Chain A
Amino acid sequence: MTLGNTRFLLLLGLVSCAVIFTCSIFIGTETLDLGQAWRELRSLTPLSEAPTLSILLMQRIPRTLAAFLAGGGLAVAGCAFQALLRNPLATPYTLGVASAGALGAWVAFLLADVTAAIPLLALLTSKQVMAFLFAGLDVFLVYLLAARRIHTSPAVLLLAGVTLGMLANAGIMFSRYLARPDRLVNMDRWLMGGVDVLGYQPVLLLAVGVIPCAAVLLLQAARYDQFAFGTTLAAGRGVNIGRLQTTTFFVGSLITAVIVSEVGPIGFVGLIIPHGVRLLTGPSHRLLMPLSIVAGGAFLCACDIVARRILPGETPIGIITTMVGGPVFLYLLVRRRFSDWNV
């Protein structure tokens, strides 16, 4: 990869991202009249009496930011898991992390009535904390399986992840069974994934969780490159294997848990984005990971545009990403070689 090529790709990525970002702000169930928004801003009308400006500031912009943060976070977590497990199919979703996180958030829903009275307990059983605990437990179990044998086949890891995901889903089913019927509609909608946030609190929570975690993972890029040739060679080069594994599993679970607890389990972003970006950049994580963040963010914004505008009503975004990602996953699975992966 020449430097010129690299710069061109970076530029292309950033431009297409900016285009999608802009589209995401202006395309929606109702097309936004920018002139109208500007007039409302100029006249200093209170937000409650300025419908266009209110849609722009309180719906479109937070929604776009949320989609970008969630997509970028899931994509970079996918890169990290794939590098560490040396497996192109390892993602927050296929490893069961997303489902486990969803179960955690779900449990938090159920506990909310019981724990609301006690502030400290309410904090400990908040959506975010519970999602992280469950996601972390899932990653730990998968890791135990991976560490037990040096050459764990992709099939074993995936089956483990899928099985844990199924267990988590069974837990979700059970809690749905226990839940009050009047709550089920809201809970079900959350489970399908959606970035239709209102206001900035969810965006802020996402930003606080995703940005530092993504930064930590990006700083490991050169170490992930060393993993290409296995742990012994990497260790001989001065990579602290234990620390890298712990950091990646912890931070990867955290980033997934934060995203899942805010926007629900959104599948396959961590699979198709790193795969697609890798086709352009080659396997170097120092290029792959930052571009995956941008591409993942743009991809989820694009899916959200489809959800709002092209499909009827407000289709849950998780359905769209899975409909796009599922076939890609199958395509990867049936091919013997994963393009540039030697599996």
Chain B
Amino acid sequence: MMHRIDAEALAYSYTSGQRVLDDVSTHVATGEVTGIIGPNGAGKSTLLQLLCGLLSPESGNVLLNKSPLEQYTDRERARLVAYMPQSVSPAFSLTVREVVALGRFPHLGPFGSLGTPDHEIVQDCLGQTETSHLATRDFLSLSGGERQRVLLASVLAQEPQLLLLDEPTSSLDLPHEAAFFRQLRTLSGRGLGIVVVTHDINMAAQFCDRLVLLGKDHRLVNQGGPSEVLQADILTDAYGSPLLVGEHPQTGGPFVTAPVGGI
């Protein structure tokens, strides 16, 4: 079954009244990787949190499988849509296995006891993210790349249909970043819907099926396939600063960089 989230004319302001998102309509669905890109402060993370109901829009609607998101209970929603925040700081030390097991929460009863199937799912998620060998390690002792993989395993343990990630690779070096995106592609190949907020336009170009480009004015500038969205004039408009588009040395797809000394 196909699962999707539709956003209709979303607007959101901080309590101070400052507008951070204005009239954004888009959709995300299972089986594809959607990248949300745009300049700092465009409202990318806000859009992501609106899509999974962590924030409520000031106006507009979010529909999960054609039904308003607020009609779902928190747990029902969490069984369909998982959210991975940009960074986490655990309050106390937990082993990697315990961290991943926390992801089972929306499937558990009132006492939160894990059954045999739950333990099997946790093991499977450790395997999928190649973190099985870390299972008994203290989460706080892991490197940045390992932490992100474990965190990914923990949201996978939620067994969602759609997985929303907020800048998951911002603290990773380039090879680790590429590896993480390859992992996301693999997951989408298994039918999971991926939505990822990223600053790295080139990673988005290389690994996303669809891009949603937000502009400095907090509005939707363009959405569609990478070669459709990543054009010099569109990007320059969105970022309010000139950007150059060339070709990726290997794939020939769009490759974005900044000009020397400005134009």
Contacts and interface: CB of A to CB of B under 8 A. Distances in A.
A232 interface: yes
Nearest to A221: B112
Contacts of A86: 91
Contacts of A297: none
Contacts of A284: 98
Interface stretch (A179-187, A222-230, A263-271): A222-230
A43 interface: no
Contacts of A340: 92-93
Q: How large is the interface on B (under 10, 10 to 19, 20 to 34, 35 or more residues)?
A: 35 or more
A283 B110 CA distance: 18
Given A219-B111, A239-B74, A284-B98, 5 more contacts: A222-B105, A222-B111, A238-B77, A283-B94, A342-B140
16 contacts: A87-B91, A221-B111, A225-B105, A225-B112, A226-B102, A235-B54, A236-B52, A236-B84, A238-B73, A238-B76, A238-B78, A239-B74, A283-B92, A283-B94, A341-B91, A342-B91
B88 A230 contact: yes
A237 B92 contact: no
Contact of A238 (B49, B74, B89): B74
A233 B83 contact: yes
A192 B85 CA distance: 47
A232 B83 contact: yes
A176 interface: no
A237 B158 CA distance: 8
A240 interface: yes
B193 interface: no
Interface in B72-109: 73-79, 82-85, 88-94, 98-99, 102-103, 105-106, 108
A230 B92 contact: no
Interface of B: 49, 52, 54, 73-79, 82-85, 88-94, 98-99, 102-103, 105-106, 108, 110-113, 140, 155, 158
A222 B94 CA distance: 14
A343 interface: yes
Contacts of A309: none
A222 B92 contact: no
| Ranked 7 nearest A-B pairs via Cβ | A222-B112, A238-B78, A236-B83, A238-B75, A238-B106, A86-B91, A238-B74
A225 B91 contact: no
In this complex, the member of A225, A235, A238 whose beta carbon has the largest number of chain B beta carbons within 10 angstroms is: A238
Nearest to A230: B88
Q: Which of B52, B92, B93 has the most CB of A within 10 A?
A: B92
B225 to A, nearest CB: 28
B92 A228 contact: yes
Nearest to A234: B105
Contacts of B158: 237
Given A228-B102, A238-B77, A233 B93 contact: no
B91 A228 contact: yes
B74 A230 contact: no
A161 B77 CA distance: 37
Contacts of B103: 237
Interface in A195-233: 219, 221-222, 225-230, 232-233
B88 A229 contact: yes
A225 B102 contact: yes
A236 B88 CA distance: 13
A342 B102 contact: no
A222 B89 CA distance: 18
B193 to A, nearest CB: 15
Contact of A226 (B73, B93, B105, B110): B105
A211 to B, nearest CB: 18
B177 to A, nearest CB: 21
A131 to B, nearest CB: 30
Contact of A233 (B77, B88, B94, B140): B88
B94 A228 contact: yes
Contacts of A235: 54, 74, 83
B102 A286 contact: no
Nearest to B138: A340
B96 to A, nearest CB: 13
Given A235-B54, A236-B54, A238-B77, A229 B90 contact: yes
A237 B157 CA distance: 10
A152 to B, nearest CB: 13
Contacts of B74: 235, 238-240
Nearest to A343: B91
Contacts of B78: 236-238
A342 B106 contact: no
A274 B109 CA distance: 25
A227 B92 CA distance: 10
A342 B93 contact: yes
B54 A342 contact: no
Nearest to B75: A238
B111 A228 contact: no
A233 B94 CA distance: 15
Given A222-B105, A222-B111, A226-B102, A236 B89 contact: no
